[in-house]
Amino acid sequence: MSRSTRIAARIAGLALAASAPLILAAGSAQASSAAAAAPDLDVTKCEVVRDYVNYGDGINWYHFNITYTNEGNAASGPFRAATQPVWSTHGVFGNGDEVREEFDSLSLAPGQSVNRHYWVTEKVVDQRTWGIFLDINNQVPDSQKNDNFCSAWVNNT
Whether pLDDT at 99 is above 90: no
What pLDDT is recorded for position 1?
54
Confidence of residue 98 (pLDDT cuts 50, 70, 90): confident
Question: CA triplet 102, 143, 154: central angle to 5 degrees?
Answer: 55
Per-chain mean pLDDT for the chain? 80
What pLDDT is recorded for position 38?
94
% of the chain surpassing 70 pLDDT: 70
What pLDDT is recorded for position 25?
46
Question: 116-125 pLDDT, tens per residue?
Answer: 999 999 989 9
* Cα 112 to Cα 120: distance, rounded to the nearest angstrom: 26
At 73 the three-state DSSP class reads coil
Beta strands in the chain (DSSP E): 41-50, 61-70, 79-87, 92-95, 98-105, 113-121, 131-133, 149-151
